[in-house]
Amino acid sequence: MQSDRRSPRAPGGLSFRASAFGSGGRAARCVGPASRGSSRRERERAVRLITVVMSRVIDADPDRVWKALTNPAEIAAWDARMLAPVDPSNDYPFSGGVRWRYQLGGVQLVMHDRPLEVVPGARLKRTIRLGTLRYDQTLSLSPVRDQPGQTNLGIKIVSPNWIPLVGDAVDRFSARELATRHIDETLGQIQAFFAPDGAR
């Protein structure tokens, strides 16, 4: 996957500067030509989107993989970052959104997961909000031709190419690298879950 060489700077010549707030923490804020004298709507339109798509073959049929992707108990079993649902639902993804306790490095956050499109056994498109990070994620499942009991699982993330990040040390980073790492970890974990010696 080719990296986005423009990622350290936002489009339109924007750059990031950390500004102090509250109890001495730091927040990244957008500064530069497009932020001076521009409306909020114009600045939002100036943000370009990045798309990252990856896929892997999973050693299970699409219906079984779908269950692992949508059943909260199974999600918590294969995804080490998803600790537990804040408001459990037995009818996800048809019941609307769900909130998760989510482990991001050494920090626990609440992840908001809102389904936008559901095709059972084939496709789940949802909006994810995790702190200042917001993106659309699409999971696509299809049987592998001539290989019964296997599924091609694709994950697509569409995200702004810059994301404000709260923290003392980091005030800018590559959204493309973050999305690629997230997809790779997700695919790796579910692939391991369905491996012959996996937890399933």
Residue 68: give its domain's CATH number: 3.30.530.20
The more confidently predicted of residues 111 and 12 is 111
**Cα Rg of the chain (Å, integer):** 19
Q: Is 4 among the domain residues?
A: no
Q: What one-letter code names the amino acid at 130? A: L
Q: Is residue 129 part of a domain?
A: yes
Q: Which residue has the higher pLDDT, 122 or 200?
A: 122
**Cis previous bond, 93, omega within 30:** yes
Instruction: Return the SS3 of 187.
Output: helix
> Is the model more confident about 79 or about 175?
79
Instruction: Judge whether 69 lies within some domain.
Output: yes
- The mean pLDDT value for 166-191 works out to 74
Specify if 112 maps to a domain: yes
Contact 109, 49 (CB under 8 A): no
Give 61-117 pLDDT, tens digit per residue.
999 999 999 998 899 999 999 998 898 777 888 877 889 999 988 889 999 999 999
Range of the structural domain that residue 162 is part of? 48-193
Would you say residue 97 lies in a domain?
yes
- Percent of the chain's residues with pLDDT above 70: 68
Contact 140, 123 (CB under 8 A): yes
Which helix (H) or strand (E) segment holds residue 176: the answer is: helix 175-193
In this prediction, residue 154 has a pLDDT band, given cuts at 50, 70 and 90, of very high
Number of domains in the chain: 1
Edge-first strand order for the sheet with 82-85 is: 49-58, 151-160, 133-143, 123-130, 107-119, 98-104, 82-85
Q: Which residue has the tokens 């199974």?
A: 74
Domain membership of residue 12 (yes or no) is: no
More confident residue, 168 or 85: 85
Q: How confident is the model at residue 198 (pLDDT cuts 50, 70, 90)?
A: low
Instruction: Assess contact for 7 and 177: CB atoms under 8 A.
Output: yes
pTM equals: 0.71
The residue written with tokens 């056994």 in the block is: 121
Which pair of tokens denotes residue 4? 């986005």
Pick the residue with more confidence: 9 or 184?
184
